[in-house]
Amino acid sequence: MVDSFLKYLEFEKRYSQHTVSSYQTDLEQFQAYLTNTYQIDNLSSADYNHIRSWIIALVENEIQPRSINRKLACLKSYYKFLMKRGIIEKNPALRIKTPKVKKRLPVFVEEPKMETLLGKENPEPFFSDGFKGIRDRIILELLYGTGLRLSELINLKNSDFNFYDNTIKVKGKGNKERIVPIHKELKEWITVYNKSKADTFISIDTDHFIVSDKGEKAYPMLVQRIVKEKLNLVSTSEKKSPHVLRHSFATHLLNNGADLNAIKELLGHSSLAATQVYTHNSLEK
């Protein structure tokens, strides 16, 4: 039933491949615990006490509360799935309490540092003039200028850009689409990038906007490496990732007086609660 559950998550619930893989790992870990501790070989045979025992073991092994909560969410979802299929009568994970998670403020790069890295008057050669340099720059310009997630950036297609309205159609979590505006400077860099891409590659098989050095669809490690390398030039923060640029985008908008609901829509958050965390970062507010 685990395979059926994972297909249900991917094709009906439209979870990301990353989430599906994480849930698969969680179920495999719980199955291993059941087998080793209770000699139970079927997940559907687990009860409240078995699940509670596993959660306690995770806590004692100093697994982070966020990870434990995800594993518990996975089990609740899996047993709900089994109930719908008539395999079990009640969900044994429902009454398990989740560990409290300390609220972490989003890490962001200060506005002057981003201006140093991407500003027009920048005297430092942070980006080369060739295709790779322009590609690296457009990656940071898009992440910081629109607040896209890493997966959203990688999956952007050329057809998602509307230069008449100066907008991008973004497919976010759960395949929910949203429209994100692009500012004048970003539009100019997109034009420069498209020309450089056309000049560099005679033909490209992919319709994806961001491509690798070989003209293929970009992959997560490539983008993560580029972002880390460039942020290292201006930031001493320990975290340097595409998501840090998303946090920077939201924080700087709020600092400059943007409406919280507008930021929520731009980020593709399903609830305002997820966006409100940025108010703690906003010095002006």
**Residue among 151, 147, 144 nearest 230 (CA):** 144
Tokens of 2: 């685990």
**Residue among 242, 238, 217 nearest 227 (CA):** 242
Given the residues 70, 228, 239, 269, the one annotated as active site:
269
Given the residues 71, 135, 246, 264, the one annotated as active site:
246
Quote the CA–CA distance of 73 and 67 in Å, as a whole number: 10
Please report where in the chains the tokens 């891409």 appear, as a residue.
Answer: 197
Given the residues 132, 173, 187, 239, the one annotated as active site:
173
**Residue among 281, 33, 253 nearest 146 (CA):** 253
Quote the CA–CA distance of 135 and 197 in Å, as a whole number: 8
| Phi/psi of residue 93, nearest 5 degrees | -95, -10
**Residue among 252, 244, 257, 260 nearest 281 (CA):** 252
Q: Is residue 50 among the annotated active site residues?
A: no
Given the residues 52, 132, 187, 243, the one annotated as active site:
243
Q: Is residue 269 among the annotated active site residues?
A: yes
Q: Is residue 173 among the annotated active site residues?
A: yes
Given the residues 149, 208, 252, 264, the one annotated as active site:
149
**Residue among 185, 170, 174, 198 nearest 265 (CA):** 170
Residue 170 bridge partners (DSSP)? 178
Quote the CA–CA distance of 64 and 232 in Å, as a whole number: 27
Catalytic residues, by residue number, are 149, 173, 243, 246, 269, 278
